[in-house]
Structure 1
Amino acid sequence: MKIMNILILEDEIPAQQKLEKYLLEYFEDEIYYDWARSISEGKKLLSENKYDFILSDIQLLDGISFDLFDEITINCPIIFCSAHDDYLFKAFNTNGIAYILKPYSKADFNKAIEKYQSLFNQGNYNKLNSDTISNLKSALQEENTSYKKRFVIKKTKGIQLLNVTDISLIEASGDFCIATDSSGKRHTISQTLGNIFQQLNPAKFFKINRSEIINIDFINNIESHFKNRLLITLQGVKEKPMTSTSITSEFRKWLEQ
Structure 2
Amino acid sequence: MKILILEDEIPAYQKLVNYLNDTFEEEFVHDLARSNSEGKKLLTQNKYDFILSDIQLLDGISFDLFDEVTIKCPIIFCSAHDEYLFKAFNTNGIAYILKPFSKSDFKKAIEKYQALFNKGSYNKLNTNTISNLKSALKEENTSYKKRFVIKKAKGIQLLNVTNVSLIEASGDFCIATDNIGKRHTISQSLGSIFQQLNPNKFFKINRSQIISIDFIENIENHFKNRLLISYTGGKEKAMTSSSTTSDFRKWLEK
TM-score range with shorter-chain normalisation?
0.5 to 0.7
Paired residue for 1:66?
55
Matched, 1:236 2:233: yes
What is the 5 A alignment of 1:155-234? 155-234=152-231
- Distance in 1, matches of 2:167 and 2:114, equals 37
Mapped contact 1:83–1:165 kept (Cα < 8 A):
no
1:166-213 residue CA offsets vs partner (Å, 9 max, x unmatched) = 000000011110000000000011110001001111111000000000
Distance 1:172 1:255 in 2: 23
Question: What SS does the aligned partner of 2:249 have?
Answer: helix
Question: 1:45 maps to what in 2?
Answer: 19
Partner of 1:254: 251
Q: 1: distance between equivalents of 2:223 and 2:114?
A: 45
CA distance in structure 1 between the partners assigned to 2:183 and 2:17 by the alignment: 41
C-alpha distance in structure 2 between counterparts of 1:254 and 1:44, whole Å: 46
What letter is aligned with 1:208?
A: I
Q: What's the C-alpha RMSD, in Å, of the aligned pairs?
A: 4.5
Identity of aligned residues (%): 56
Q: Deviations over 1:212-232 (max 9, x none)?
A: 000000011000000010000
Q: Which residue of 2 aligns with 1:125?
A: 123
Separation (CA, whole Å) in 2 of partners of 1:252 and 1:98? 32
Q: State the aligned residue count.
A: 191
In the TM superposition, 1:87-126 aligns within 5 A as: 89=88, 96=94, 121-126=119-124
1:85 matched to 2:84: yes
How many angstroms apart in 2 are the aligned matches of 1:127 and 1:47? 27
Structure 2: how far apart are the matches of 1:39 and 1:136? 23
- Answer yes or no: is the 8 Å Cα contact 1:88–1:136 preserved in 2: no
The runs of 5 or more residues in structure 2 that have no matched partner are 1-11, 26-52, 63-70, 99-110
TM-score by length of 2: 0.59
Task: Give the match for residue 149 of structure 1.
Answer: 146
Helix, strand or coil for the counterpart of 1:44?
helix
- Partners in 2 of 1:250 and 1:99 — Cα distance? 37
Instruction: Tell whether the 8 Å contact from 2:227 to 2:240 is kept in structure 1 after alignment.
Output: yes
CA distance in 2, matches of 1:251, 1:189: 24
Using the alignment, how far apart are the partners of 2:209 and 2:116 within structure 1?
Answer: 42
Question: Rg larger in 1 or in 2?
Answer: 2
CA deviations over 1:82-114 (Å, ceiling 9, x no partner)? 851369738x996616899xxxxxxxxxxxx99
Contact conserved, 1:209 with 1:243, CA < 8 A, in 2?
yes
The Cα shift of 1:49 comes to 3.1
1:84 is matched by which residue type in structure 2? Answer: E
